[in-house]
Each structure stands twice: as structure tokens, then as C-alpha cells.
């Protein structure tokens, strides 16, 4: 597959911006068009270093706006679709934005790709949360690509719906689409409401870290760089209509993660604040990445703890100006002045 111009949706977010930085290193000849609505977690600061790069173009726009998406898709050779509302707690409070972006937005992009004709490939970036929850008592169990979808939160339900739309596009129209599902990401540029940057930045500020319930819930942590390499491999080598899982082989309970961060930060258990558990909190996620290893030649390299976690903690220590601007909302005035309203 030959790519001259790649459309990336949601490229100002955590994973999307890391993916664009990766492409500038690994595929410098590609032109990248990044469309992002700059909602609360989309931050132009993540890509400020590329503003003068002639191979990079930013468009502020809503992926659910066909008037924005159709011309963008038409002039690109492939699409990598990151744009999504992604925070479970926010989805519990109000699922409306999740349906708008994750379901309607995906449908609009699929329609634009189909109507553009040709052989455009679309990679749809999803989540392991669509599979539901695994038991804590059966550590040998892992999610595979054949695991039935059983979402348990409004967020994961919206992502499962978008996954089904992508599947239907392939089976109904023969579209060249690939879906990826990953475990929990960590690394640079993650919005500080997410657990690892939230804990690290709270501790830097001398505030306690909120631990849900008994902390027994288990997550498989993958470094965002490993995930982005997997997405690139899926774009270039994945089979149309297939799903590929990416995990870090790095399962940790929330309480274990908390203690590791406290140790790296030189703080004690007195900094833990036990808070009421999240409604419907999934017990365990674990990914079987065997298919991606076999078919794509992918393997995680940066995800192992404590090294990967220590590297991430140091990034937030060294980039305090970035996360303080995010927490204060100062970056919003910057992009309001630069980009105006979505669609401009």
C-alpha cells in the first residue's frame, strides 16, 4: 500500500499525538493531515513542535460533520481514526458526547471513505473495554479477537457500537478497514485526569491520590509508543476486515500500581485516599496479542515495569509546564485564538 497523505483523526489527543510524532520519525515522506475538534482533552501543545513542518497540516473540525470530513477523506490515501471521547467516569455522568463522537463520528468517516471510492484503508482504533470484564480468579484467561463484545460502561458501549459499524462496512461494502483494540495506555502527553498522570501530578503538588474501592481491579498496561507501533503495523500489514489486539503483557492491580508510583515518587501510603468505587467497575482486563505478533511482527518493547513506569514518571516531572497548563486550562485560550471554531 502506497501512502502519500494520511488523515489522522483526533491527532491532538494522547495516543494520536504520539502516533503523529512517531510518523514524523518513521515515515518522514508522508504528509499528515490531522483533524481534531479540540474538545477538552485535545491539546495543540502536544504537537506544537510540528507547526512549521511542511509535511503536517492541522484542521480543526468535528468528525461528525460530513461537510468537514468528506473533502478531507477525499484527498487522503488512508485514515487512522483515533478521535473519541474516552473517559469512563465522564460517560457515566453524560453519555451524549460519547454517542456523538464515537458512534456518529465513526459512521460519518466510514461514509466519507466509502463515497470517496478507490482503495482507501481505514484503521479504527478501539479498546479492550468492549470485551467487558475478566474474572480475578482465572488469571489464565485473556481477551482474544474472538471474545464476544460485552461492554459494561456507556463509554465502552459507544466504542463497541463503532466497532460494529466498522465490521459492517467491510462485510456489506467490502471496505478496506482494520480495527485495533488495546489495553490501558501510559506515557507522555496523557491528559491528567487519567490515573497515572493524575497520581503523579497530585503527588508533585503534595496532594493525595484517589484509589477506587479496594484497588483489586487489574489492568494490562501498554506504553503508548508500543501501541503506536502496533497501529502503524496494522495500517501497513493488517488484513482487511480483521481485528488486532495490542497488550503490554504487564498486568497490575490498581493498588500495586499505586504503590509503585508512590515508591518512584518517594512518598508513603499516607498519600493514598480511598474513595467510593466507580459504578460497574470492570474487574480485570488482559490482552492476548498473539495474532498481532504472528501476522504483523509486532511485540511490546517499552511497556515493562518498573522501567516503563519510571520513564513516564520522569516525563511528568520534567514537563511540569505542560501539565500545569492542561490542569489550569490555559492551553484553551491558545487554540481559541489560533483556530477559532471547529470546522475553520
Tell me which residues are annotated as active site.
128-129, 155
For residues 286 and 250, what is the distance between their CA atoms, to the nearest angstrom? 9
Pairing of strands 31-36, 78-81: unpaired
The reply to whether omega before 306 is within 30° of 0 (cis) is yes
CB 156 within 8 A of CB 184: no
Residue 87, Ramachandran bin (φ over 0: left; ψ between -120 and 50: alpha; else beta)? beta
For residues 335 and 239, what is the distance between their CA atoms, to the nearest angstrom? 38
For residues 221 and 190, what is the distance between their CA atoms, to the nearest angstrom? 14
| 204, burial (CB in 10 Å: exposed 0-12, middle 13-18, buried 19+) | middle
Going 114 to 120 to 125 to 130, the CA torsion angle's sign is positive
CB 163 within 8 A of CB 179: yes
Angle in degrees, CA 218, 219, 223, rounded to 5: 155
Give Dmax (Cα) for the chain: 60
Closest CA to 249 of 289, 306, 207: 289
The DSSP 8-state label assigned to residue 237 in this structure reads H
The DSSP 8-state label assigned to residue 249 in this structure reads S
Counted residue by residue, the chain has a size of: 344
Amino acid at each position: 500500500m502506497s501512502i502519500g497523505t494520511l488523515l489522522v483523526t483526533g491527532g491532538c489527543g494522547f495516543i494520536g499525538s504520539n502516533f503523529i510524532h512517531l510518523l514524523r520519525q518513521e515515515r518522514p515522506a508522508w504528509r499528515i493531515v490531522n483533524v481534531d475538534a479540540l474538545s477538552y482533552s485535545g491539546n495543540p501543545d502536544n504537537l506544537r513542535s510540528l507547526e512549521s513542518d511542511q509535511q503536517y497540516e492541522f484542521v480543526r473540525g468535528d468528525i461528525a460533520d460530513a461537510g468537514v470530513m468528506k473533502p478531507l477523506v477525499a484527498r487522503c490515501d488512508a485514515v487512522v481514526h483515533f478521535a473519541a471521547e474516552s473517559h469512563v467516569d465522564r460517560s457515566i455522568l453524560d453519555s451524549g458526547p460519547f454517542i456523538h463522537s464515537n458512534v456518529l463520528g465513526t459512521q460519518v468517516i466510514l461514509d466519507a471513505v466509502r463515497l470517496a471510492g478507490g482503495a482507501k484503508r481505514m484503521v479504527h482504533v478501539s479498546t479492550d473495554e468492549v470485551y467487558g470484564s475478566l474474572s480475578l480468579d482465572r488469571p489464565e484467561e485473556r481477551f482474544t479477537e474472538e471474545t464476544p463484545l460485552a461492554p459494561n460502561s456507556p463509554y465502552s458501549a459507544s466504542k463497541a457500537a463503532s466497532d460494529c459499524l466498522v465490521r459492517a462496512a467491510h462485510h456489506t461494502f467490502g471496505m478496506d478497514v482494520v480495527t485495533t483494540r488495546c489495553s490501558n495506555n501510559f506515557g507522555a502527553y496523557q491528559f491528567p485526569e487519567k490515573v497515572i498522570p493524575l497520581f503523579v501530578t497530585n503527588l508533585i503538588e503534595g496532594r493525595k491520590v484517589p484509589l477506587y474501592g479496594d484497588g483489586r481491579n487489574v489492568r494490562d498496561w501498554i506504553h503508548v509508543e508500543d501501541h503506536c507501533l502496533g497501529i502503524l503495523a496494522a495500517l501497513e500489514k493488517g488484513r482487511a476486515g480483521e481485528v488486532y489486539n495490542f497488550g503490554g503483557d504487564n498486568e497490575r492491580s490498581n493498588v500495586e500500581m499505586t504503590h509503585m508510583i508512590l515508591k518512584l515518587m518517594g512518598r508513603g501510603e499516607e498519600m493514598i485516599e480511598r474513595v467510593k468505587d466507580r459504578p460497574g467497575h470492570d474487574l480485570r482486563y488482559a490482552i492476548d496479542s498473539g495474532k498481532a505478533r504472528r501476522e504483523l511482527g509486532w511485540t511490546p518493547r517499552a511497556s515493562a515495569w518498573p522501567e516503563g513506569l519510571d520513564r513516564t514518571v520522569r516525563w511528568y516531572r520534567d514537563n511540569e509546564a505542560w501539565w500545569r497548563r492542561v490542569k489550569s486550562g490555559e492551553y484553551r485560550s491558545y487554540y481559541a485564538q489560533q483556530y477559532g471554531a471547529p470546522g475553520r
